[in-house]
């Protein structure tokens, strides 16, 4: 995730200072444990200022207002007590070359400052601190004690001290080329490292792009640079400093993130606020999606291992129980031929009742023939009871494993490419696993969300095709969305998604429409890596959900078989639902 560097922060502050100073603070909402939202109002507009101290997504920019309070903290409570109704009179950096911003609040814009809200946008060391006019800390997002830092203490009641300043020189447009080159090239090393070590305000990302703009290899030694390369790099250096001095930025999207200087931009952005809000909202959603996906996949895999071990144990016990009939037959032989057996024998060969072939029966020499037969009868009854008990347990374990394999197939097909959409699908899977008692309640708590929607495609004839992405969607498609005119598809004998071809009354799909739907059913199944997958197609009225069946499970009849091509379906594009 691309961090907010000094250049980005200066660009965001330039827009906020131009359009949102002064403003009235109407309230404070805590979006999550790392994010506060200040609701601001000016004479011309209202907006929500996001202050985040997330280790990877620390930022200060305008964003969407949160739906409701999602977390509580001491800092949030103190801000709610002190700031609503006050005027935001200034947003300024404490030092032009440091990423610490001072938000000052007073009764009126021209009145003396009452409160300082310091935003330290410092990557994993980011923080937010509320201090009074004398600099005494009232609350802090991440308290720092004396044992954690030998430079400063960030706790309520202590005096606020900014982070230790960097020791490198501050960049300046007045610095001549010769002095700049001498400073950067003083110690031989890669040119990117020399830039970062020589001056403040540069981030690794900015230095890398600056060198690319100048046509210089970032790993090339400063001692090997030609005069022309030094000149090109100094021009890019001056372009950066002039943008900072004039507060003229060009926000845009790059291949790997964003830029506020226009360098390597693939598409422009409306403004810096929109750029930062969209980028970090999507990046955090993707991170949450991947974390939840990983948690659910590990849970499903763990339960699958347990069930496979349970099935192996049940199968072994059932195999042992299959010998129950042999025990009874041997006992019958002993009782029938007891007169031919001698006491003290360890084994005896007796003719089989039907074939006459000799059957060897192991004996306990300390017991009589009748006692040996009784022992065999007793073992026969015990194994017969075991078989009757194990068979339903084995069937239930296999059904449970089949259910988890369906969930695992669904998870394997979710890539978090559309993080907000996939996050809703994953939240429903998490809720389902909790209801099925695979997750503890504490691990499945989630905020209420709207029901996720199935993926939508269009056949060559323009008919809508819906693909369920989890068991809840599959059940809705099969038993609520489907009409009598639709067609239902599913991979045969394999876990996969339910696919519904929506047809208006009287419409007849072409062979290409059926093949299109079958390809999707094959693509979203456990056989997605195969060249061909058998797919069942039937009408919704031939679907039935057995009583007590797990989510996503159906029984179908009157089906016809098609061959789906999962590799072809990878080229199909999703469409907007009707």
Residue 81 carries which DSSP code?
H
The two structure tokens encoding residue 550: 């797990």
Q: Using alpha carbons only, what angle is made at residue 106 by residues 102 and 112, rounded to the nearest 5 degrees?
A: 90
CATH 1.10.287 residue ranges of the chain are 288-452
Question: CA-to-CA distance for 179 and 197, rounded, in angstroms?
Answer: 15
Residues 6+ apart with CB under 8 A from 227: none
* Closest by Cα among 291, 283, 254, 278 to 1: 283
Strand, coil or helix: what is 241? helix
Answer for the pair 299, 439: CB distance below 8 angstroms, yes or no: yes
Per-residue pLDDT of the chain (578 residues; tens, 9 = 90+): 899 999 999 999 999 999 999 999 999 999 889 999 999 999 999 999 999 999 999 999 999 988 776 678 899 999 999 999 999 999 999 999 999 999 999 999 999 999 999 999 999 999 999 999 999 999 999 998 888 777 889 999 999 999 988 888 999 999 999 999 999 988 889 999 999 999 999 999 999 999 999 999 999 998 899 999 999 999 999 999 999 999 999 999 999 899 999 999 999 999 999 999 999 999 998 888 899 999 999 999 999 999 999 999 988 888 877 777 787 888 888 888 888 788 888 888 888 888 888 888 888 888 888 888 898 888 888 878 877 888 889 888 998 999 999 999 989 888 777 667 788 888 889 988 988 888 876 544 445 566 788 999 999 999 999 999 999 999 999 999 999 899 999 999 889 999 999 999 888 899 999 999 999 999 999 999 899 999 999 999 999 998 888 888 899 999 999 999 999 999 998 887 66
Could you tell me if 305 and 408 are in contact, meaning their C-beta atoms sit under 8 angstroms apart? no
Round to whole Å and give the CA distance between 576 and 421: 13
Peptide bond just before 22 cis, omega within 30 deg: yes
Cβ-based burial of 362 (10 A; exposed 0-12, middle 13-18, buried ≥19) = exposed
Q: Are 211 and 218 in contact (CB under 8 A)?
A: yes
| CB proximity list for 481: less than 8 A, separation 6 or greater | 466, 500
CATH code for the structural domain at 288-452:
1.10.287
Kindly state the DSSP code that residue 101 receives in the 8-state scheme. Answer: E
Q: Please measure the distance between the N-terminal and C-terminal CA atoms of the chain and give it in whole angstroms.
A: 35
Integer Cα distance of 242 and 245 in angstroms: 5
E-only strand ranges, 121-181: 127-132, 137-140
Helix, strand, or coil here: 20? coil
Q: Comparing C-alpha atoms, which of 252, 246, 297, 282 is closest to residue 270?
A: 252
Find out whether 545 and 556 touch, Cβ atoms under 8 Å. no
With contact defined as beta carbons under 8 Å apart, do 127 and 154 qualify? Answer: yes
Sequence-distant (6+) residues with CB within 8 A of 522 are 491, 496, 528, 530, 532, 533, 535, 564, 565, 566, 569
- Domain 177-268: give its CATH code: 1.10.8
Taking the C-alpha atoms of residue 359 and residue 328, their distance in angstroms, rounded to an integer, is 13
User: Is residue 380 within 8 Å of residue 320, measured between CB atoms?
Assistant: no
Total residue count of the chain as it appears in this document: 578
Percentage of the chain modeled with pLDDT above 70:
97
- pLDDT, tens only, 318-344: 887 777 778 788 888 888 888 878 888
Q: In whole angstroms, what is the distance from residue 160 CA to residue 120 CA?
A: 12
Rounded CA-CA distance 332/334 in Å is 5
Decide if 569 contacts 520 (C-beta within 8 A): yes
Catalogue the E-assigned strands of 42-136: 46-52, 59-63, 87-93, 100-106, 115-120, 127-132
Distance CA 30, CA 264 (A): 35
Q: CATH 1.10.8 spans which residues of the chain?
A: 177-268
| Helix residue spans in 144-271 (DSSP H) | 177-184, 191-198, 204-213, 227-246
Q: What is the pLDDT of residues 372-393, one digit of tens each?
A: 889 888 888 887 887 788 888 9
According to DSSP, the residues that pair with 60 across neighbouring strands are 51
CATH 1.20.140.10 correct for 6-140: no
Which candidate, 391, 364, 385, 378, places its Cα nearest to that of 327? 378
The dihedral built from the CA positions of residue 185, 190, 196 and 202, taken in this order, carries a sign that is positive
Coil, helix or strand at residue 77: helix
**Alpha-carbon gap, residue 414 to 387, rounded angstroms:** 41
């Amino acid at each position: 995730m691309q961090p907010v560097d000094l250049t980005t922060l200066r660009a965001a502050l330039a827009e906020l200072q131009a359009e949102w100073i002064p403003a009235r603070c109407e309230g404070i909402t805590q979006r999550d444990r790392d994010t506060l939202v200040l609701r601001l109002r000016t004479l011309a507009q209202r907006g929500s200022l996001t202050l985040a101290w997330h280790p990877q997504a620390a930022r200060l920019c305008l964003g969407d207002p949160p739906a409701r309070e999602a977390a509580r903290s001491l800092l949030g409570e103190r801000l709610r007590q002190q700031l609503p109704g006050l005027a935001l009179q200034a947003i300024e950096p404490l030092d032009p070359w440091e990423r610490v911003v001072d938000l000052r609040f007073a009764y009126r814009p021209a009145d003396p400052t009452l409160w300082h809200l310091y935003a330290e946008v410092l990557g994993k060391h980011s923080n937010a601190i509320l201090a009074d006019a004398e600099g005494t800390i009232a609350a802090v997002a991440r308290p720092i004690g004396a044992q954690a830092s030998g430079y400063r203490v960030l706790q309520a009641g202590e005096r606020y001290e900014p982070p230790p300043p960097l020791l490198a020189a501050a960049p300046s447009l007045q610095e001549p080329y010769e002095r700049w080159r001498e400073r950067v090239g003083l110690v031989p090393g890669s040119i990117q490292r020399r830039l970062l070590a020589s001056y403040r305000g540069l981030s690794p990302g900015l230095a890398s792009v600056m060198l690319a703009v100048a046509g210089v290899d970032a790993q090339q030694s400063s001692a090997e640079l030609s005069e022309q390369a030094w000149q090109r790099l100094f021009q890019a250096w001056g372009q950066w400093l002039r943008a900072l001095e004039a507060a003229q930025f060009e926000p845009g999207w790059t291949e790997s993130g964003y830029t506020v200087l226009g360098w390597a931009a693939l598409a422009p952005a409306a403004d810096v606020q929109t750029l930062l809000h969209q980028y970090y909202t999507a990046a955090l959603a993707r991170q949450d999606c991947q974390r939840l996906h990983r948690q659910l996949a590990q849970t499903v895999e763990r339960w699958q291992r347990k069930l496979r071990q349970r099935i192996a144990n049940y199968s072994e016990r059932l195999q042992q129980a299959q010998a129950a009939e042999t025990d009874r037959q041997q006992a019958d032989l002993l009782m029938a031929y007891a007169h031919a057996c001698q006491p003290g024998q360890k084994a005896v060969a007796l003719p089989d009742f039907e074939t006459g072939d000799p059957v060897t029966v192991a004996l306990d020499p300390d017991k009589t023939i009748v006692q040996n037969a009784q022992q065999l009868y007793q073992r026969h009854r015990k194994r017969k009871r075991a078989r009757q008990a194990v068979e339903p347990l084995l069937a239930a374990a296999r059904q449970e494993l089949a259910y988890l394999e369906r969930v695992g197939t669904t998870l394997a097909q979710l890539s978090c490419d559309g993080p907000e959409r996939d996050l809703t699908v994953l939240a429903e899977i998490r809720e389902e696993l909790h209801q099925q008692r695979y997750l503890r309640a504490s691990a499945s708590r989630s905020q209420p969300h709207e029901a996720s929607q199935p993926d939508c495609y269009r056949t060559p004839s323009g008919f809508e095709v819906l693909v369920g992405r989890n068991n809840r969607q599959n059940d809705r498609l099969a038993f609520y969305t489907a009409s009598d005119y639709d067609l239902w598809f599913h991979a045969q004998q394999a876990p996969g998604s339910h696919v519904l071809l929506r047809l208006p009354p009287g419409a007849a799909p072409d062979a290409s429409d059926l093949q299109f739907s079958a390809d999707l059913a094959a693509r979203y199944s456990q056989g997605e890596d195969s060249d061909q997958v058998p797919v069942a197609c039937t009408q919704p009225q031939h679907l039935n959900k057995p009583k007590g069946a797990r989510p996503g499970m159906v029984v179908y009849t009157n089906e016809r078989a098609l061959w789906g091509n999962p590799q072809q379906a990878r080229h199909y594009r999703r469409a907007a639902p009707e």
